[in-house]
Amino acid sequence: MDCKLKIEGYKGVDGTFDLSRGHIFLDGVNGSGKSAILDALRLLILGHEPTAGGKVQALESRISGGCGDANFELQIGSTVTTCRRIRGKWQWGINGVAVGATKVKETLAGIHGTGAVLGVHLGQLFQGSDREISDRLAQLVLGNTKALTPEDVALVPGLEKFTEEEWGQVHKVIAGGGNALTQIGEIESKVKDLTREANSTRTAQRKVADQCMGGREIPPDMIESLLKKRDEAREICEGMRLIPEQNQKAKEELERLQPLLDRKTGDRQEARKKLQFHAEADLERSKKEQANLEEALTGCQGKLRGIDKKIHALGLEIKAWISRLTYAKGEAPDGADECPTCGAPVEPDPQRIHQLEAQIEEAKASQADLEEERFEAEEQRNGLQKELELIGARISQLQEAIQASKEIEDLNDEIERLGNQVKEIRILEEPTETELTQAEHNFQTASETFSKAVEENQLWKQRCKAHADFEEADQEWRRLKEIGEAITGWKAAIMDKTFGELATQLQVAWEHLELPDKVGLKITAEGGKVQVGFLDYMSRAILPPKALSGGERALLEAVVSACLLANSNVPTKVLLIEAAEVDHDNTERLCRWLETVKQLDLVVVARPDDPPELDQEHWSIVSPQQALAL
């Protein structure tokens, strides 16, 4: 791996450090610059230094106290990271692009990985209580686990109880990336929040359910019966109250109808007087008689017209004969020589005169007979007209009688209707004050009974609903609690598996180290809890890390850091070890074992003086001054 470090103005160190060989052993007295090189590497790879308890301590404060202006530059492959301190202000750059201080860690993590440097200050990884050591190891181990996939979550027993909306939140967490520990922790945090909310709802529903006391179930038919009794009692009470008013209205209606009934009865009696016996039959006969009279009158009038025609014709005939008689007497009024009608000569003719006078007399006699016959016909006509007038009057009277009969029928109907209305009018017996009071009491009692039954039933329904709501809230809380337990078990299973693999690797590493004063390293991981200890050779007892010497803890920390980094998923694996407290022999064993860890890209071990005998093919054993001069 092509790797170079450049330092200017930091703790008296200036120069370029070639790290391309991969295994570097820094040897030198205290103050020679070993820590300066390690500080620079941590600063340029991670932007900070991991310290005890997982807290982050910025290197700016350390570097600021040891120098004024300083420049750092690290080239790993094609990536060049720079850090400068100018007039008390820090400036970062990656591949020539300025990066703000808040973006340095994020950008460097994307290039090298968040766990690129796991070699913390020796002696700090196993400091503190067993719980702190366990949590610190868990953070380092699980912080480098690969990210979850939806398939990983779907295979976890118990998580099928997630709702569709909750699954959406889980998938959102998975899509956000990160490591398994962070993702599981975020899912667990969301479930805990939901569980707390569900428990709060459950507690509130329990209080509501506890407050819903009393009440009992009332059958619907009983409530309906009580309602019917109440309504009946109300109707009786209201009816008794309305009796005086109804009686008053009945009397007023009776006073209005009785005169009308009397008047209609009188009208009927008057109509009956107009009605004649067999009026309709008489009307029919009268109409027939009227028709006969009209027919006779028509004949009489025809006869008169015939007589008039005859009289007129005789008049004309007499007039002609008189004219002829004038010409026969020899008198011509117009001086004519002959008669214009018969052509006889105008001259006296006694015989013709006698004949014409006889004819005239006969005609006048016939005319007189016709006049008499006409007079008789007129008399007959006048008689017929009088009879027709009488018959017409009779018919009118009969029609009035028939109309009166119809009016009587209508009056009968009206009188019957009015009579029925009068019969329906009832003057009720008005209740006494005692009866009215009793009716009101009955209505009040029925109302109270019905209201109490409804209230009891309502309380019962509220109690049932409150208990149902509590059961629903309790089931939701239990569902979330079971999911939380499943997540806890899932997390513990992942930790057990991961720590089990680490324990196996560490055990193999420890056996490879062949330490003479200890038989082996004891690491157990159960339920997500890690226990690390040494097995005492003489007493066979397990000694906790705090019971060991500083060198033994430093050695243990170096081995654990190497195994953790080798198994991590970070792209650039850099292991920095300060082995000041590890003795000479154990340092040599450690370096030889590190040769077998092929996954590490860069290993830098720093120890003052007395370097161990190492394979020159794998290691470059130099002092900081020599390294910077390389």
Phi and psi at 513, nearest 5°, equal -70, -30
Only one residue has tokens 């011509």, namely: 332
Residue identified by tokens 């909306």 is 165
Across the strands, what pairs with 56?
50
Beta-bridged to residue 607, according to DSSP, are 27
Calculated CA dihedral for residues 554, 555, 556, 561, nearest 10 degrees:
90
Comparing CA positions, the residue from 270, 451, 292, 487 lying closest to residue 384 is: 292
Q: What are phi and psi of 178, to 5 degrees?
A: 105, -170
One-character DSSP codes across 461-515: HHHHHHHHHHHHHHHHHHHHHHHHHHHHHHHHHHHHHHHHHHHHHHHHHHHHHT-
Rounded to whole angstroms, the Cα distance separating 524 from 526 reads 7
Region of 577 (left: φ > 0; alpha: ψ -120 to 50; beta: rest) is beta
Whether the per-residue pLDDT at 613 is higher than 80: the answer is yes
Least confident of 124-133, 202-211, 538-547: 538-547
pLDDT tens-place string over residues 269-325: 666 665 544 466 666 777 787 788 788 878 888 888 888 888 888 888 888 877 777
* 186-195 LR contacts (CB < 8 Å, sep 24+): 187/153, 187/487, 188/484, 188/487, 188/488, 188/491, 191/480, 191/483, 191/484, 191/487, 192/484, 194/166, 194/480, 195/477, 195/480, 195/481, 195/484
Q: What is the pLDDT of residues 512-523, one digit of tens each?
A: 777 655 545 566
Q: What pLDDT does 234 receive?
A: 87
Unique residue bearing structure tokens 């796991």: 118
405 pLDDT band, cuts 50/70/90, is low
Tokens 């009068």, residue?
Answer: 422
Which tens digits make up the pLDDT trace of 349-385?
677 778 877 888 888 888 888 888 888 888 888 888 8
Amino acid at 35: S
H or E element in which residue 254 lies: helix 220-274
What's the mean pLDDT in 96-119?
69
Cα–Cα separations (whole angstroms), residue 241 to 30, 224, 434, 527: 116, 26, 12, 84
- Cα angle vertex 277, ends 274, 283, to 5°? 85
- pLDDT reported for residue 50: 41
- Rg of the Cα atoms in the chain: 71
For the CA atoms of 146, 147, 151, 157, the dihedral, rounded to the nearest 10 degrees, stands at 80
**pLDDT confidence band for 196 (50 / 70 / 90):** very high
Please give the pLDDT value at position 386: 85
Q: Domains in the chain and their CATH numbers?
A: 1-118+610-630 (3.40.50.300), 246-424 (1.10.287)
More confident residue, 72 or 21: 72
Q: Output DSSP code: residue 18.
A: E
CA–CA gap between residue 383 and residue 389 (Å, rounded): 10
Residue 136 has pLDDT above 80, yes or no: no
Please list the residues that pair with 16 across neighbouring strands.
6
Question: Dihedrals φ, ψ of 49, to 5°?
Answer: -120, 125
What does the pLDDT average to over 217-244? 85
- Averaged pLDDT of the chain: 77
Given this model, what pLDDT does residue 124 score?
Answer: 62
Mean pLDDT confidence for 559-582: 80
In angstroms, rounded to a whole number, what is the distance separating the alpha carbons of residues 323 and 308?
A: 22
**Phi, psi for 227 (deg, rounded to 5):** -65, -40
Give the whole-number percent of the chain exceeding pLDDT 90: 3
Alpha-carbon dihedral sign for residues 210, 213, 218, 223: negative
- Number of residues that this document lists for the chain: 630
Contact status, residue 551 vs residue 517, Cβ threshold 8 Å: no
- Give the residue carrying structure tokens 């209707």: 417
Residue 528 has pLDDT above 70, yes or no: no
End-to-end CA distance of the chain: 16
* Closest by CA position to 591, among listed 619, 563, 567, 551: 619
Q: Given pLDDT bands bounded at 50, 70 and 90, which one contains residue 56?
A: very low
Cα 319–chain centre separation: 122
pLDDT at 78 over 50: yes
Which has the closest alpha carbon to 622: 10, 9, 15, 11?
A: 15
Helix or strand run (H / E) with residue 8: strand 3-10
Composition of the chain by helix, strand, coil, percent to 5: 65, 15, 25
Higher pLDDT, 308 or 414: 308
Q: Where are the alpha helices (DSSP H) in 157-179?
A: 164-175
Task: Compute CA distances 135 → 14, 54, 65, 333, 438, whole Å.
Answer: 39, 9, 32, 177, 84
Question: In this predicted model, which residue has the larger pLDDT, 164 or 134?
Answer: 164
Q: Residue 399 — very low, low, confident or very high, per pLDDT cuts 50/70/90? A: confident
In this structure, the number of other CB atoms found within 10 A of the CB of residue 226 comes to 19
